[in-house]
Amino acid sequence: MKITNEYKQKKLAANVVVIGCLSAVLGLAGCQQEGTAEKAGQKIDRAAEKAEQKIEQATEKAETKIDAAKESLDKKADKAGEYINESTDASKGALEKAGKKLDQATEKAGENIEGAKESVVDKAETAGEYIDDSVITTEVKTAILNDPLLNASHIEVTTDKGVVKLSGTVDSEQSIGRAVEVANSQKNVKSVQTDLIVKSAPGK
């Protein structure tokens, strides 16, 4: 690692400094008496060993701290990754739920539209039938009133979905047949039902 390399470089630099100091001290010691030089050399050796031990200890502590920091970072990274995965799963779940709700709403709206269309069509058909029936009734009534064979009759006309119903009184059986014939001859008449009765002539 980068940090470990830096500590090793520092350790090497410290060692170089110690060696330099030793050389200087030894040089100075060479100018003094032999006994004093040996003592000085021993002191320098001990000081160098202590310095080296301290450097090694400091390096080990630094490496331990670096390893601990690295491990902590790894754990935090793992935890963050788990959190991101959980968040992603939760988002997917929410999106799926929203998609299902949208599909259901769209389907329901489609059903409502179809129902409304059918209702409008049914109402339009009913309105159309009502208009057609009223037109048929008017045409049949006009035709019966204008027929010379039925001028003495009192005929009521109703129409339901193209089926004409005749009721009232006529002066003869022939008039019943004629009324049915006239009604059948009108446009859009599907069939004719009759409740017509023959009215007896006065004095008979």
Domain annotation covers residue 47:
yes
Domain annotation covers residue 122:
no
Q: What is the arrangement of strands in the sheet containing 163-170, beginning at the earlier edge strand?
A: 154-160, 163-170, 191-198
Closest C-alpha among 187, 192, 185 to residue 136: 187
Where in the sequence is the domain holding 172, given as residue range(s)?
147-198
Same-domain pairing of 87 and 6: yes
Count the residues in the chain: 204
**pLDDT (0 to 100) of residue 87:** 66
Cβ-proximal residues to 7 (8 Å cutoff; 6+ apart), any chain: 58, 59, 62, 63
Higher pLDDT, 75 or 12: 75
Residue pair 62/7 in contact by the 8 Å Cβ criterion? yes
Cβ-proximal residues to 185 (8 Å cutoff; 6+ apart), any chain: 143
Q: For the segment 91-107, what is each residue's pLDDT rounded down to a tens digit?
A: 777 778 877 877 887 77
Residue 140: count other Cβ atoms within 10 Å of its Cβ: 25
Domain annotation covers residue 131:
no
At residue 203, φ and ψ (nearest 5 deg) are 90, -5
CA dihedral sign, ordered 84, 87, 93, 95: negative
Q: For the segment 108-134, what is each residue's pLDDT rounded down to a tens digit?
A: 777 776 665 566 455 545 555 566 899
Domain annotation covers residue 40:
yes
Which residue, of 96, 126, 155, is where some domain finishes? Answer: 96
Task: Please state the domain count of the chain.
Answer: 2
Domain annotation covers residue 134:
no
Q: pTM of this prediction? A: 0.38
Domain annotation covers residue 101:
no
